[in-house]
Amino acid sequence: MMDYKAIRRALHQIPEIGFEEKETQAFLLEQIRKLPQERLQIKIWKTGLFVHVAGRNPSRLIGYRTDIDGLPVPEKTGYSFASRHEGKMHACGHDFHMTIALGVLEKVARQPIKDDMLFIFQPAEEGPGGALPMLASREFKKWKPDFILALHVSPDFPAGTIATREGILFANTSELFIDFHGKGGHAASPHLTHDMIVAASHFIVSLQTIVARRVNPLHSAVVTIGKMTAGTKQNIIAEHARVEGTIRTLDQETMALIKDDIERQVKAVEIAYHCTSRIDYGANYYQVFNRAEDVKPFLNFLLSRKYPHVICGESMTGEDFGYFLKELPGFMFWLGVGKTSGLHSADFMPDETALEQGVKVISDYLINGQ
Ligand SMILES: CC(=O)N[C@@H](CCC[C@H](N)C(=O)O)C(=O)O
Protein backbone atom coordinates (compact mmCIF):
# COMPACT_ATOMS: atom_id res chain seq x y z
CA MET A 1 0.00 0.00 0.00
CA MET A 2 1.18 3.53 -0.74
CA ASP A 3 2.76 5.56 2.05
CA TYR A 4 0.71 8.76 1.69
CA LYS A 5 2.93 10.85 3.96
CA ALA A 6 6.08 9.84 2.07
CA ILE A 7 4.44 10.60 -1.29
CA ARG A 8 3.16 13.98 -0.13
CA ARG A 9 6.58 14.87 1.25
CA ALA A 10 8.33 13.85 -1.95
CA LEU A 11 5.90 15.93 -4.01
CA HIS A 12 6.25 18.83 -1.59
CA GLN A 13 9.95 19.03 -2.44
CA ILE A 14 9.45 19.48 -6.19
CA PRO A 15 6.85 22.24 -6.74
CA GLU A 16 6.69 23.53 -10.31
CA ILE A 17 4.82 26.44 -11.90
CA GLY A 18 1.95 25.87 -14.36
CA PHE A 19 2.95 23.97 -17.50
CA GLU A 20 6.48 23.39 -16.14
CA GLU A 21 5.48 20.31 -14.08
CA LYS A 22 7.96 17.91 -15.75
CA GLU A 23 9.52 16.50 -12.56
CA THR A 24 6.08 16.22 -10.98
CA GLN A 25 4.79 14.35 -14.02
CA ALA A 26 7.75 11.95 -13.92
CA PHE A 27 7.17 11.31 -10.20
CA LEU A 28 3.46 10.67 -10.75
CA LEU A 29 4.23 8.27 -13.61
CA GLU A 30 6.74 6.41 -11.44
CA GLN A 31 4.09 5.91 -8.72
CA ILE A 32 1.37 4.92 -11.20
CA ARG A 33 3.67 2.39 -12.93
CA LYS A 34 4.12 0.58 -9.59
CA LEU A 35 0.40 -0.26 -9.56
CA PRO A 36 -1.20 -3.31 -11.24
CA GLN A 37 -1.28 -2.24 -14.89
CA GLU A 38 -3.93 -4.64 -16.32
CA ARG A 39 -6.78 -2.15 -16.13
CA LEU A 40 -4.80 1.06 -16.65
CA GLN A 41 -4.26 3.16 -19.77
CA ILE A 42 -2.03 6.18 -19.34
CA LYS A 43 -1.95 9.15 -21.70
CA ILE A 44 0.59 11.91 -21.26
CA TRP A 45 -0.89 15.35 -21.97
CA LYS A 46 1.61 18.24 -21.95
CA THR A 47 2.87 18.24 -18.32
CA GLY A 48 -0.28 16.49 -17.07
CA LEU A 49 -1.73 12.98 -17.34
CA PHE A 50 -4.93 11.13 -18.05
CA VAL A 51 -5.22 7.68 -16.45
CA HIS A 52 -8.15 5.47 -17.46
CA VAL A 53 -9.05 2.56 -15.16
CA ALA A 54 -11.38 -0.13 -16.52
CA GLY A 55 -14.25 -1.05 -14.22
CA ARG A 56 -15.78 -4.49 -13.55
CA ASN A 57 -19.06 -3.94 -15.34
CA PRO A 58 -19.07 -0.32 -16.48
CA SER A 59 -22.10 1.68 -17.46
CA ARG A 60 -20.47 5.07 -16.73
CA LEU A 61 -17.11 6.82 -16.69
CA ILE A 62 -16.41 8.65 -13.43
CA GLY A 63 -13.81 11.43 -13.53
CA TYR A 64 -11.56 12.43 -10.64
CA ARG A 65 -9.43 15.53 -11.14
CA THR A 66 -6.41 16.81 -9.23
CA ASP A 67 -4.32 19.87 -9.97
CA ILE A 68 -0.54 19.42 -9.94
CA ASP A 69 1.15 22.85 -10.02
CA GLY A 70 2.89 24.84 -7.28
CA LEU A 71 3.22 28.58 -6.63
CA PRO A 72 6.04 31.15 -6.84
CA VAL A 73 6.19 31.42 -3.03
CA PRO A 74 9.55 31.17 -1.17
CA GLU A 75 8.84 28.56 1.53
CA LYS A 76 9.08 29.38 5.24
CA THR A 77 7.71 26.23 6.87
CA GLY A 78 10.97 24.97 8.33
CA TYR A 79 10.02 21.47 7.13
CA SER A 80 12.86 18.95 6.82
CA PHE A 81 11.21 18.12 3.48
CA ALA A 82 10.87 21.74 2.30
CA SER A 83 10.87 22.67 -1.38
CA ARG A 84 14.09 21.96 -3.26
CA HIS A 85 12.99 24.38 -5.99
CA GLU A 86 14.06 27.84 -4.92
CA GLY A 87 11.28 30.40 -4.72
CA LYS A 88 8.57 27.80 -5.35
CA MET A 89 6.26 26.02 -2.95
CA HIS A 90 3.17 23.83 -2.77
CA ALA A 91 1.47 26.63 -0.82
CA CYS A 92 -2.00 25.76 -2.10
CA GLY A 93 -1.97 22.09 -1.10
CA HIS A 94 -1.72 20.55 -4.57
CA ASP A 95 0.83 18.10 -3.08
CA PHE A 96 -2.08 16.87 -0.91
CA HIS A 97 -4.46 16.81 -3.88
CA MET A 98 -2.06 14.67 -5.95
CA THR A 99 -1.34 12.28 -3.07
CA ILE A 100 -5.04 11.70 -2.46
CA ALA A 101 -5.64 11.16 -6.19
CA LEU A 102 -2.81 8.58 -6.26
CA GLY A 103 -4.28 6.91 -3.15
CA VAL A 104 -7.73 6.61 -4.73
CA LEU A 105 -6.17 5.47 -8.02
CA GLU A 106 -4.28 2.75 -6.12
CA LYS A 107 -7.52 1.53 -4.50
CA VAL A 108 -9.42 1.24 -7.78
CA ALA A 109 -6.43 -0.20 -9.67
CA ARG A 110 -6.17 -2.98 -7.07
CA GLN A 111 -9.89 -3.43 -6.53
CA PRO A 112 -11.80 -2.09 -9.52
CA ILE A 113 -15.15 -0.45 -8.95
CA LYS A 114 -18.13 -1.24 -11.15
CA ASP A 115 -17.66 1.77 -13.45
CA ASP A 116 -14.69 2.98 -15.45
CA MET A 117 -12.70 5.82 -13.98
CA LEU A 118 -10.64 8.63 -15.44
CA PHE A 119 -7.99 10.27 -13.26
CA ILE A 120 -7.07 13.72 -14.53
CA PHE A 121 -3.75 15.16 -13.33
CA GLN A 122 -4.20 18.76 -14.44
CA PRO A 123 -1.38 21.30 -14.81
CA ALA A 124 -1.55 25.06 -14.25
CA GLU A 125 -4.57 25.54 -11.99
CA GLU A 126 -2.95 28.61 -10.45
CA GLY A 127 -2.63 30.03 -13.94
CA PRO A 128 -2.78 30.27 -16.86
CA GLY A 129 -5.33 27.45 -16.48
CA GLY A 130 -5.02 23.82 -17.58
CA ALA A 131 -8.70 22.89 -17.41
CA LEU A 132 -9.86 24.51 -20.66
CA PRO A 133 -7.09 23.05 -22.86
CA MET A 134 -7.57 19.64 -21.21
CA LEU A 135 -11.31 19.79 -21.91
CA ALA A 136 -10.52 20.56 -25.56
CA SER A 137 -7.94 17.75 -25.85
CA ARG A 138 -8.34 14.63 -28.01
CA GLU A 139 -7.80 12.47 -24.93
CA PHE A 140 -10.65 14.11 -23.01
CA LYS A 141 -12.98 13.90 -26.01
CA LYS A 142 -12.27 10.17 -26.22
CA TRP A 143 -12.69 9.65 -22.46
CA LYS A 144 -15.38 12.17 -21.55
CA PRO A 145 -16.60 11.38 -18.02
CA ASP A 146 -20.31 11.13 -17.22
CA PHE A 147 -19.67 12.56 -13.79
CA ILE A 148 -16.66 14.27 -12.21
CA LEU A 149 -15.43 15.22 -8.76
CA ALA A 150 -12.52 17.08 -7.18
CA LEU A 151 -11.45 18.46 -3.84
CA HIS A 152 -9.47 21.37 -2.48
CA VAL A 153 -7.79 21.41 0.92
CA SER A 154 -8.84 24.08 3.39
CA PRO A 155 -7.35 25.34 6.67
CA ASP A 156 -10.83 26.55 7.68
CA PHE A 157 -12.03 23.09 8.72
CA PRO A 158 -10.67 20.41 11.08
CA ALA A 159 -8.39 17.84 9.47
CA GLY A 160 -10.46 15.26 7.58
CA THR A 161 -13.74 17.21 7.69
CA ILE A 162 -15.52 17.59 4.34
CA ALA A 163 -17.21 20.91 3.55
CA THR A 164 -19.36 21.65 0.55
CA ARG A 165 -22.67 23.16 -0.51
CA GLU A 166 -25.31 23.23 -3.20
CA GLY A 167 -24.88 26.15 -5.62
CA ILE A 168 -21.84 28.34 -6.06
CA LEU A 169 -18.81 27.15 -4.08
CA PHE A 170 -15.96 29.19 -5.67
CA ALA A 171 -16.09 32.58 -7.39
CA ASN A 172 -15.69 33.73 -10.99
CA THR A 173 -12.18 35.09 -11.39
CA SER A 174 -10.26 37.24 -13.81
CA GLU A 175 -6.58 38.00 -13.69
CA LEU A 176 -5.62 41.64 -14.20
CA PHE A 177 -2.39 42.99 -15.71
CA ILE A 178 -1.99 46.70 -16.46
CA ASP A 179 1.07 48.38 -17.95
CA PHE A 180 1.47 52.17 -17.72
CA HIS A 181 4.01 53.84 -20.01
CA GLY A 182 5.10 57.50 -19.78
CA LYS A 183 8.13 59.74 -19.92
CA GLY A 184 10.85 58.87 -17.43
CA GLY A 185 13.92 60.95 -16.61
CA HIS A 186 16.17 62.43 -13.94
CA ALA A 187 14.90 62.28 -10.35
CA ALA A 188 15.81 65.96 -9.97
CA SER A 189 13.59 67.09 -12.86
CA PRO A 190 10.09 65.74 -12.20
CA HIS A 191 8.57 68.63 -14.22
CA LEU A 192 10.13 67.16 -17.39
CA THR A 193 8.72 63.66 -16.85
CA HIS A 194 5.50 61.80 -16.13
CA ASP A 195 6.23 59.48 -13.24
CA MET A 196 4.67 56.02 -13.78
CA ILE A 197 5.17 55.08 -10.12
CA VAL A 198 2.91 57.96 -9.11
CA ALA A 199 0.46 57.13 -11.92
CA ALA A 200 0.21 53.44 -10.92
CA SER A 201 0.00 54.31 -7.22
CA HIS A 202 -2.86 56.71 -7.90
CA PHE A 203 -4.61 54.00 -9.92
CA ILE A 204 -4.19 51.41 -7.13
CA VAL A 205 -5.64 53.74 -4.52
CA SER A 206 -8.60 54.80 -6.67
CA LEU A 207 -9.21 51.13 -7.56
CA GLN A 208 -10.23 50.55 -3.93
CA THR A 209 -13.39 52.61 -4.52
CA ILE A 210 -14.80 50.10 -7.03
CA VAL A 211 -15.80 47.46 -4.48
CA ALA A 212 -16.51 50.09 -1.81
CA ARG A 213 -18.57 52.52 -3.95
CA ARG A 214 -19.64 50.90 -7.23
CA VAL A 215 -20.53 47.29 -6.49
CA ASN A 216 -23.93 46.60 -4.97
CA PRO A 217 -23.11 45.77 -1.32
CA LEU A 218 -25.29 42.67 -1.64
CA HIS A 219 -23.14 41.35 -4.53
CA SER A 220 -19.79 40.09 -3.21
CA ALA A 221 -16.63 41.13 -5.04
CA VAL A 222 -12.88 41.35 -4.50
CA VAL A 223 -10.23 43.30 -6.42
CA THR A 224 -6.71 42.55 -5.18
CA ILE A 225 -3.41 43.85 -6.53
CA GLY A 226 -0.79 41.29 -5.56
CA LYS A 227 2.21 42.62 -7.44
CA MET A 228 3.55 45.94 -8.66
CA THR A 229 6.80 46.46 -10.53
CA ALA A 230 8.27 49.75 -11.64
CA GLY A 231 11.45 51.68 -12.08
CA THR A 232 15.11 50.87 -12.54
CA LYS A 233 17.00 52.95 -9.94
CA GLN A 234 16.27 55.20 -6.97
CA ASN A 235 17.29 58.40 -8.77
CA ILE A 236 15.50 57.73 -12.04
CA ILE A 237 11.84 58.59 -12.59
CA ALA A 238 10.15 55.42 -13.87
CA GLU A 239 8.87 55.32 -17.43
CA HIS A 240 7.02 52.03 -16.87
CA ALA A 241 4.91 50.53 -14.09
CA ARG A 242 3.11 47.19 -14.10
CA VAL A 243 0.26 46.29 -11.81
CA GLU A 244 -0.88 42.67 -11.43
CA GLY A 245 -3.97 41.47 -9.62
CA THR A 246 -7.15 39.48 -9.65
CA ILE A 247 -10.88 40.19 -9.70
CA ARG A 248 -13.40 37.88 -7.95
CA THR A 249 -17.20 37.99 -8.12
CA LEU A 250 -20.12 35.66 -7.48
CA ASP A 251 -21.89 36.71 -10.70
CA GLN A 252 -20.92 37.67 -14.24
CA GLU A 253 -22.75 41.04 -14.19
CA THR A 254 -20.61 42.28 -11.30
CA MET A 255 -17.47 41.04 -13.11
CA ALA A 256 -18.48 43.09 -16.21
CA LEU A 257 -19.24 46.15 -14.07
CA ILE A 258 -15.84 45.97 -12.34
CA LYS A 259 -13.97 45.60 -15.63
CA ASP A 260 -15.86 48.59 -17.06
CA ASP A 261 -14.92 50.68 -14.02
CA ILE A 262 -11.27 49.61 -14.17
CA GLU A 263 -11.17 50.71 -17.81
CA ARG A 264 -12.66 54.11 -16.89
CA GLN A 265 -10.14 54.60 -14.08
CA VAL A 266 -7.24 53.63 -16.33
CA LYS A 267 -8.44 56.19 -18.92
CA ALA A 268 -8.57 58.81 -16.17
CA VAL A 269 -4.98 57.98 -15.17
CA GLU A 270 -3.88 58.26 -18.82
CA ILE A 271 -5.31 61.78 -18.99
CA ALA A 272 -4.09 62.91 -15.57
CA TYR A 273 -0.58 61.45 -15.92
CA HIS A 274 0.08 61.92 -19.67
CA CYS A 275 0.64 58.22 -20.20
CA THR A 276 -0.51 55.28 -22.28
CA SER A 277 -1.68 51.98 -20.86
CA ARG A 278 -2.54 48.41 -21.76
CA ILE A 279 -4.97 46.17 -19.87
CA ASP A 280 -4.82 42.39 -20.12
CA TYR A 281 -7.36 40.23 -18.27
CA GLY A 282 -5.20 37.07 -18.48
CA ALA A 283 -6.92 33.87 -17.45
CA ASN A 284 -10.59 33.99 -16.46
CA TYR A 285 -12.08 31.12 -14.45
CA TYR A 286 -15.73 30.17 -14.43
CA GLN A 287 -17.39 29.77 -11.02
CA VAL A 288 -17.46 26.34 -9.34
CA PHE A 289 -21.14 25.49 -9.13
CA ASN A 290 -22.47 22.33 -7.47
CA ARG A 291 -25.89 21.38 -8.82
CA ALA A 292 -28.16 20.14 -6.02
CA GLU A 293 -28.90 16.85 -7.79
CA ASP A 294 -25.16 16.11 -8.07
CA VAL A 295 -23.91 17.06 -4.60
CA LYS A 296 -26.92 16.03 -2.45
CA PRO A 297 -26.30 12.27 -2.81
CA PHE A 298 -22.71 12.87 -1.62
CA LEU A 299 -23.92 14.84 1.41
CA ASN A 300 -26.45 12.10 2.22
CA PHE A 301 -23.69 9.51 1.90
CA LEU A 302 -21.42 11.43 4.32
CA LEU A 303 -24.30 11.63 6.79
CA SER A 304 -25.16 7.93 6.50
CA ARG A 305 -21.49 6.94 7.07
CA LYS A 306 -21.07 9.48 9.88
CA TYR A 307 -18.09 11.09 8.15
CA PRO A 308 -17.39 14.51 9.68
CA HIS A 309 -18.79 17.14 7.34
CA VAL A 310 -20.34 20.61 7.27
CA ILE A 311 -22.34 22.71 4.84
CA CYS A 312 -20.10 25.68 4.13
CA GLY A 313 -20.58 29.13 2.60
CA GLU A 314 -19.32 30.37 -0.76
CA SER A 315 -15.67 31.33 -1.10
CA MET A 316 -13.95 34.01 -3.19
CA THR A 317 -11.18 31.61 -4.22
CA GLY A 318 -11.21 30.54 -7.86
CA GLU A 319 -10.71 27.13 -9.46
CA ASP A 320 -10.67 26.21 -13.12
CA PHE A 321 -12.42 22.97 -12.12
CA GLY A 322 -15.46 25.25 -12.63
CA TYR A 323 -15.02 24.62 -16.38
CA PHE A 324 -15.34 20.85 -15.87
CA LEU A 325 -18.56 21.38 -13.89
CA LYS A 326 -19.88 23.76 -16.57
CA GLU A 327 -19.67 20.88 -19.04
CA LEU A 328 -20.32 17.81 -16.86
CA PRO A 329 -22.41 16.77 -13.86
CA GLY A 330 -20.35 16.50 -10.68
CA PHE A 331 -19.26 18.47 -7.64
CA MET A 332 -16.34 19.89 -5.71
CA PHE A 333 -15.69 19.96 -1.99
CA TRP A 334 -13.23 21.22 0.59
CA LEU A 335 -11.19 18.78 2.66
CA GLY A 336 -10.23 20.29 6.03
CA VAL A 337 -6.52 20.19 6.89
CA GLY A 338 -6.74 21.83 10.32
CA LYS A 339 -5.70 25.23 11.53
CA THR A 340 -2.64 26.63 9.78
CA SER A 341 -1.78 29.77 7.83
CA GLY A 342 -4.02 30.43 4.86
CA LEU A 343 -3.70 29.02 1.35
CA HIS A 344 -0.90 30.75 -0.60
CA SER A 345 1.06 31.50 2.63
CA ALA A 346 4.77 30.71 2.91
CA ASP A 347 4.10 28.79 6.13
CA PHE A 348 1.04 26.82 4.99
CA MET A 349 1.41 23.54 6.94
CA PRO A 350 -1.61 21.27 6.46
CA ASP A 351 -2.24 18.36 8.83
CA GLU A 352 -1.16 15.14 7.09
CA THR A 353 -3.80 13.03 8.87
CA ALA A 354 -6.24 14.45 6.29
CA LEU A 355 -4.48 12.44 3.56
CA GLU A 356 -5.70 9.06 4.72
CA GLN A 357 -9.18 10.35 5.54
CA GLY A 358 -9.42 11.94 2.06
CA VAL A 359 -8.54 8.67 0.32
CA LYS A 360 -10.91 6.73 2.59
CA VAL A 361 -13.97 8.93 2.08
CA ILE A 362 -13.55 9.27 -1.68
CA SER A 363 -12.87 5.56 -2.27
CA ASP A 364 -15.78 4.58 -0.03
CA TYR A 365 -18.06 6.95 -1.99
CA LEU A 366 -16.87 5.58 -5.32
CA ILE A 367 -17.25 1.95 -4.22
CA ASN A 368 -20.41 2.13 -2.11
CA GLY A 369 -22.03 5.51 -2.62
CA GLN A 370 -22.75 5.59 -6.35
C1 LIG B 1 -7.87 27.69 -4.76
C2 LIG B 1 -7.07 28.82 -5.26
O3 LIG B 1 -6.34 29.45 -4.50
N4 LIG B 1 -7.15 29.09 -6.57
C5 LIG B 1 -6.52 30.23 -7.17
C6 LIG B 1 -6.89 30.26 -8.63
C7 LIG B 1 -6.15 31.32 -9.41
C8 LIG B 1 -7.02 32.04 -10.37
C9 LIG B 1 -6.30 33.02 -11.25
N10 LIG B 1 -4.96 32.68 -11.59
C11 LIG B 1 -6.32 34.40 -10.60
O12 LIG B 1 -5.39 34.76 -9.91
O13 LIG B 1 -7.31 35.11 -10.81
C14 LIG B 1 -6.98 31.50 -6.47
O15 LIG B 1 -6.17 32.46 -6.43
O16 LIG B 1 -8.11 31.57 -5.98
What confidence score (pLDDT) does residue 369 get? 87
pLDDT in tens, 166-213: 999 999 999 999 999 999 999 999 999 999 999 999 999 999 999 999
pTM for the model stands at 0.94
In the chain, domain spans: 4-170+288-368, 172-284
- Tell me whether 0.90 is exceeded by the ipTM: yes
Interval 280-317: pLDDT, tens: 999 999 999 999 999 999 999 999 999 999 999 999 99
126 C-alpha to center of ligand 1: Å? 5
* CATH architecture observed for domain 172-284: 2-Layer Sandwich (3.30)
* CATH among 3.80.30.20, 2.60.120.10, 3.40.630.10, 3.40.50.720 for 4-170+288-368: 3.40.630.10
**3-class secondary structure per residue, the chain:** CCCHHHHHHHHHCCCCCCCCCHHHHHHHHHHHHCCCCCCEEEEEECCEEEEEECCCCCCCEEEEEEECCCECCCCCCCCCCCCCCCCCECCCCHHHHHHHHHHHHHHHHHCCCCCEEEEEEECCCCCCCCHHHHHCCHHHHHCCCCEEEEEEEECCCCCCCEEECCEEEECEEEEEEEEEECCCEECCCHHHCCCHHHHHHHHHHHHHHHHHHHCCCCCCEEEEEEEEEECCCCCEECCEEEEEEEEEECCHHHHHHHHHHHHHHHHHHHHHCCCEEEEECCCEECCEEECHHHHHHHHHHHHHCCCCEEECCCECCCCCHHHHHHHCCEEEEEEECCCCCCCCCCCCCCCCHHHHHHHHHHHHHHHHCC
pLDDT at residue 232 in the model = 98
- Indicate the top mutation candidate among 225, 255, 314, 319 to test ligand 1's pocket, ranked by most ligand atoms within 8 A of CB: 319
Question: Nearest residue CA, atom 11 of ligand 1?
Answer: 175
Residues carrying an active site annotation? 67, 126
- Counting atoms of ligand 1 from 1, which one is nearest the CA of 174? 13
Residue list, ligand 1 pocket, CB within 6 Å: 92, 126-127, 152, 173, 175, 246, 283, 285, 317-319, 343
pLDDT for the residue 370: 74
Nearest to 139 by CA among 156, 122, 153: 122
Mention every residue, 6+ apart, whose C-beta is less than 8 A from residue 104.
Answer: 64, 119, 359, 362, 363, 366
Q: Which atom of ligand 1 is nearest to the CA of 318?
A: 16
Question: What residue ranges of the chain have pLDDT lower than 50?
Answer: none
Cis-peptide into 155, omega within 30 deg: no
